[in-house]
Structure 1
Amino acid sequence: MSGVHLSVEGALARLTLDNPAKLNAFTPAMLAQLDAHCATLERSADVMCVLVQATGDRAFCAGADIAEWAPLSPFEFARNWVREGHRVFDRLARLSKPTIAVLQAHAFGGGLELAACCDIRVMAPGATLALPEAQVGIVPGWSGTQRLARLLPEPVLKEMALFGRRLDAGRAHALGFVAEVADDPLTVAEGIAAGMANASPRAVEVAKYQIHAGVGEDPSAMIEALGAGMIGASADKAEGVAAFAAKRKPEFPGT
């Protein structure tokens, strides 16, 4: 059945877009599945890395299924489609686990925005990237003008969003948007993920939070997460909890 599927193999998880008949275009059901899978992954203590991949050889993801959003009223389109998609994509972007997008084929519109949510990207040489929304009378709505503006130079993003130009794999790699171009991007991505085998899961998580705070990816939440982690390991926190449970005045050791 088409959708977004989650599978876990030891420390490696895979989020697979599986709607090849529609070039893996997103439906509301797929957004809901991605949201639920992100919640599952956050609760997993074993998963260290997540691959975001897709079935078929024609497209990684062609964006949002036009048949799903075209009939919506302006109000429904803004609230139920754009805002909901943005929220779910943000959840993927801020996942505590490192993520790798496997671009075996074209990523257009929402598909490119999905890839931008991942920490790094591996791309097939024949794949291209595009923001074709203006060609159907809309604008990017799932962070294409926001998150992508941090990952691509402004003139390049304008080439894509305003003039409809595609970005090929070689140029995407030269710009730093793509980590590696490979004939078999899935195998390369799996190899990159395997490189984390000897890494500290908590150190990786904290490093991701620090980088996100530095580049403006929800910095307030990242800073508070870092602070909470630091205080959560303190003797003061342990004493405060114990004192509350015992209904006594805490005696904080200051460590």
Structure 2
Amino acid sequence: MSAVHLQIAGGIAMLRLDNPARLNAFTPAMLEQLVAHCDRLDRDGAARAVLLVAEGPRAFCAGADIGAWAGIPPAEFARLWVRGGHRIFDRLARLPMPTVAVIQAHAFGGGLELAAACDLRVMAPGATIALPETQVGIVPGWSGTQRLARLIPEPLLKEMALFGRRVSAERALAAGFVAEVAEDPLAAAQAIAGKLLETSPRATEVAKYMIHAAVGEDRDAMIEALGSGMIAASADKAEGVAAFAAKRKPVFPGT
């Protein structure tokens, strides 16, 4: 049974975690469902924006389900669980359309790392964020010490990762990690996403690629995507393809 759902309406996609009994903690099946939905979003191009939401009043996402990883041998833990989680969260981060995490309740560990993979975050006033991994003898494994280090100040990250302290929505807003704190974070996120319907889809996508290249989010792929997109619109590319199909020497116009 799926615990991650995707709905698209009016150009806005809703990517929803639906495992509230387990505080939306990730299982291997949920991770695979998430990446499958990301592949669909990238492939069909029907959405202008993606809202990442979660069911239940207690947690946006409590991270990875301890029962899913506690018994994994060390080598497999590093290779399958940690690297696999990175692959899937990176897939979310690199969607071409903007993404907004709607943090209606607490986001801990992998749940915080999931929210960090989105472009913007909106939090409810009573929600908190935390990296509690050291309390169970592990360390953040899905970019909590890497992507988060680009998004929040080092002292605040150390406060969470080393000391296990929870950070309020207000402090997250002051640190720039959160775009808005709202009593109804979903409505606030929908208003933000709605503005995208007034913008150029292609310009928004390219702007996201440019920013990702600047901050090191898959820089190599972003640079090549920008260059390839530019050359694909050129007369030279059209002439090269036509010449190949006609089995003749191309005459490039240089435009």
TM-score, length of structure 1 as denominator length: 0.99
8 Å contact from structure 2 (residues 173, 181) kept in 1: yes
Aligned to 1:89: 89
Whether contact under 8 Å (1:2, 1:19) holds in the other structure is: no
Q: Distance in 2 between matches of 1:248 and 1:28?
A: 52
* Separation of aligned partners in 1, 2:144 and 2:219: 19
Give the residue type in structure 2 aligned to 1:138: I
Distance in 1, Cα, partners of 2:198 & 2:121: 21
Q: Which 5+ residue runs of structure 1 have no aligned equivalent?
A: none
Structure 2 equivalent of residue 31 of structure 1: 31
Q: Give the residue type in structure 1 aligned to 2:133.
A: E
Q: What is the 5 A alignment of 1:151-170?
A: 151-170=151-170
1:8-157 counterparts in 2 under 5 A?
8-157=8-157
User: How many Å apart are 1:38 and its aligned residue?
Assistant: 0.5
Residue 5 of structure 1: SS of its match in structure 2? strand
Q: Give the match's secondary structure for 1:6.
A: strand
The answer as to whether partners of 1:101 and 1:120 remain within 8 angstroms in 2 is yes
Whole-angstrom CA distance in 2 between matches of 1:218 and 1:78: 21
Letter in 2 for 1:29: A
The whole-number CA distance in structure 1 between the counterparts of 2:45 and 2:221 is: 21
Inter-partner Cα distance in structure 1 for 2:112 and 2:69 = 18
Displacement, 1:2?
4.9
Partner SS, residue 199 of structure 1: coil
Q: Distance in 2 between matches of 1:106 and 1:189?
A: 17
- Displacement of 1:198 after TM fit? 1.3
Identical positions, percent: 74
User: 2-side partners of 1:232 and 1:179: how far apart?
Assistant: 35
Amino acid at match of 1:62: A
* Segment drifting more, 37-46 vs 225-234: 37-46
Which consecutive aligned stretches of 4+ in structure 1 deviate over 3 angstroms post-superposition?
Answer: none
Does residue 188 of the first structure (1) align with residue 188 of the second (2)?
yes
Name the structure 2 match of 1:231.
231
Where does structure 2 lack aligned partners over 5 or more consecutive residues?
A: none
Aligned Cα RMSD in Å? 0.7
Deviation at 1:10, TM superposition (A): 2.3
